[in-house]
Structures are given as structure tokens and as C-alpha cells.
Chains A and B, each alone.
Chain A
Amino acid sequence: MIAIYTLWVREVKKYFRSKSRIIGSLGQPLLFLVALGFGLGPVFKAAGRGDYIQFLVPGIISMSILFLAIFSGISVIWDRQFGFLKETLVAPVPRWQIMIGRTLGGATVAILQGFVVFGISFLAGFRVVNFAGLPITFVFMAFIALIFTALGTAIASVLEDMHGFQLIMNFLVMPTFFLSGALFPLTNLPKILNAIVRVNPLSYGVDGIRATLDGASQFGLMADFWVLFGVTAILIAIGSYVFSKIQV
């Protein structure tokens, strides 16, 4: 278990050391919060949907976690290129422990980033409706962080270099974010879009966070919980497997 702890500490330490990374990865969520939140707010209100900032913030928190989690997972490629990966691959511990340590570390960092965005959202006028729900909110944040760090790790384990990076951004990360209900309500959607949203695990994370902070759930909290629990377990299992098969 000390291997898991060691790799976890490494990820967290590196996060706190890299101020530019902390600030840099805040840029995009804040831009979305300000541009969409205030830009589309009047339209949302006119449509009789209430306060858009209240609706949007859970989506933006999820987005910041999604991005950082994927990047933390993908850092396996950097470690491969800069050589450090080999040092961990020859260590006398099972490789799945290395993977779990990295994933927990990356997820921790992503959750911390989520907290920062959460904190800033209060400045934009966000209000928590139900404080008793907060601990459950954190559980959903953790699920999103774990799922996408594990996914990033799994993808990075089979890629050799950063050439596939643009592909991952445009065909995985962006669609996951935009087609998740982070930005728009999931009622009366076209059939195809509705189907895509329902197979996207992030939708359940956003829904869970929104339900616990603002009180309105689309799928039901139990459904959110069990879907995320299942996907987390599957992706960590797949990630551990492909990571343990890496040959350098």
C-alpha cells in the first residue's frame, strides 16, 4: 500500500508546486461561467427556467474536474517521454498499485480544483440551496474525478506520444463536456442527443451535483450514484489492466 501512497503524494506535491498549472486550468471554467452564465442568463430567465447561474455552476464545477482529471491521467505520456515512467515500472510493487496511486493522486488534484471553482462561483452569485447535501456533492465530485483520471490513464497507457492528444481533446473531452447536461437542461431534447447524454457518465455526475446543490434531479440521486459507482469500478479495472501491460 505504500506504493499507492507514494504515487499519490507525488501527484499532489507536483500540483501545489506548479502555480501556473493551478491558475492556467482555472481560465477555461471561469470563461464559461462568465460568458455563458451572464450572456445566456436573460434568455434562460425569459424562457421561464429561473436563474441560469444556479443551473450552470454545477456544470462548470464538473467541467473543471473533468479537464484536470483527464490531464492528470494523460500525464503518463509525459512520464513516458521524460523517462520517469520506467522508474515506477521496475519498482518491486504490482503495477496496479502504481496505477491506483497515480489515479487517486490525479483525482485528488482534480477535486481540489473543483473546490476552487466552487468557491469562485459564489462571487458570480451562486447560492447553495441545501447545505445538508454538500457531503453528497463531494461524493459526486470524487466520482467524476476518479472516472476521468482512470480513463486518461488507460488512454495514455496505449499511446506512445502526444500526437493523439488533439484527437482526445476534440473527440472525447469536448463532446463529454458539451453533451452532458452541464450547459443545458435535459428536458425535451431531440432523441439522438438524449440518447448520447444518457450514455455519457458525466451527465450523471453533473446531475448528482446539481441535485444536491440546487435541488433538481433529472435521473434521480440513486440512479446517479449507482451509474457512477459502476463506471468508476469498470474504468479503474480497465485502467489497471492496460497500465500493467505497458512495455517500454
Chain B
Amino acid sequence: MENIIEIKNLTKKFKEITAVDGISFNVKKGEIFAFLGPNGAGKTTTIKMLTTLATPTSGTILINGYDPTKQQNEARASFGIVFQDPSLDDDLTAYENLDMHGMLYKVKAKDRKERIEQLLRYVELWDRRKDLVKHFSGGMKRRLEIARGFLHHPKVLFLDEPTIGLDPQTRNHIWEYLKKMNTEEGTTVFLTTHYMEEADKVCNRIAVIDHGKIIAQGTSEELKASTNTNSLEDAFLALTGSEIREETVKNQAMSGRARAWRR
């Protein structure tokens, strides 16, 4: 199978800290790929480099054949992203948020209208399309962001902890949306999560990052077999140890604060 993402020796240094330390891995077209690791392991920094929000210190990235440091707009048009923290405009309605996204991604007016209706019905927010997003709950905002991520038919959708802080009902729905879009539209899904059970159920392949390095990759079965464990959570703990991590990178301190804003 073809690779949609290729990463070679990717490194990101902040002054004294090396957040991502020479990682290499590939993501195949059409798969659901989980990028797991403890807090502060380098997941979010990696996603930022993949999505043109941060420049790598060294190493190469190809997304859909484009280098995000050089062919920024081609790379950006190839992916959608659901950030760890909310990124909607609270003072606009649900519909306006999607419409604005569609305009920025140059989706034609007629297609935009149809696609927005399709996706809003799909995430069950069509009836609330005229409400300002500031009146939405955390779960509704998350569903809206997922709809937005798929709007421009991206080749890859990045999701950074898409189900964090949500109730089990919403979490289950979100996994269903992702699986359905993955099968129906062939969108590759690249996600991070701390819910191992969910990752185990949904994902085709997994990479585990710790202290900025990839320490294991393969299918869930392969990871369990190599660590001699019965669940992905145990495999994860066997690989990364059971000590609590300090979050060292300054961006993560900020995202923690921003998360407090989410209702």
C-alpha cells in the first residue's frame, strides 16, 4: 500500500529541550493510525510540524507527496485537523464556522452548501446550525470540529486527543464518525489519544513515542505480543514505564490553560 505520510529523522529542539528526537515512520493511505505516548512525549509537537504550524529543526516530512516546509499550501490543502484545544469562532454560528472554513479551502459555493448540510446532519448538529457556538457544550463543539475537518475532503485528518474530556456517549459517536468517514471516503486518520481501549478497537496501526523517540510500532497485536501483555494499556505501560511525566514543553502549559476554557 502507498504511504500518505512519510517521516524521516524528524527533530524539533526548543532551546535546551529536544521535544522530538529523530523519529521516522510512515502512515499508509486509508488506514487509521494511532500515535500514542505519555504527556509531554512529543505527540503534539510532531503534529504541529506535520501541519505547518511549527518548523522542524531537521529531518523530512512528506504529506500526500508534499513537503509542509516548502509546499505549504499544497500540504495544507491535503489535510484536515482537529486540534487538542477548541479552535472554533465562538461568536459565529455553527453554520458560519463551517462556511468560513469552506471558503478558506476554496470549496465552491454549491458544493459547500451540500457538504455542510451532509456533515452537520451526520454529526447531529443540523438543527443547531443557526446557534452561536459559544452556547455549545464541549461535546457539540468537538463534533462540529470533526465535521469541519472533513469538509474539504482532506486526504488525511489529524486529530489530537479528539475524545478527551467527553462523556462515553459522545466518545462512541466520535469513533463511529471517524470509522464511517474512513471507510466511505477513504480518508486516512491520524490520531493521538490516551484511551487505549478505544485506540485498540479503532486503529489499524500504532506508533508509540516517548521522550521524543519512537519506541515501538506495529499493530495492536504485535505490540501486545512483543511485550507479552494482554491489553494495549498494559503493553503501553510496559513500553513507557509507570512513572508520571512532567510536561516540559511550554506550548503544553498553554494548551492546559486553554483547555480550562472549554465547557
Contact = CB atoms under 8 A, between A and B. Distances in A.
A91 B88 contact: no
Contact of A6 (B48, B81, B100, B254): B100
A88 B104 contact: yes
Interface of B: 48, 51-55, 72-74, 76-77, 79, 81, 83, 85-92, 96, 100-101, 103-106, 251, 254, 258, 261
Contact of B55 (A9, A85, A247): A247
Interface stretch (A76-84, A124-132, A138-146, A206-214): A76-84
Q: Which 5 A-B pairs have the closest CB atoms?
A: A83-B87, A92-B77, A92-B76, A91-B104, A6-B103
The secondary-structure label for the interface of chain A is helix
Contact of A3 (B48, B104, B251): B104
Given A84-B87, A88-B104, A93-B73, A248 B258 contact: no
B148 to A, nearest CB: 8
A14 interface: yes
Contacts of B73: 92-94
A82 B79 CA distance: 22
A14 B48 contact: no
A87 B74 contact: no
Given A6-B100, A82-B261, A92-B77, 5 more contacts: A87-B87, A89-B52, A90-B51, A160-B254, A247-B54
A91 B81 CA distance: 10
B104 A93 contact: yes
Nearest to B87: A83
A2 B86 CA distance: 24
Contacts of A82: 86, 90, 258, 261
Contacts of B88: 83-84, 87
A91 to B, nearest CB: 4
A49 interface: no
A158 to B, nearest CB: 15
Contact of B53 (A6, A13, A18, A90): A90
Contact of B86 (A6, A13, A83, A90): A83
A17 B251 contact: no
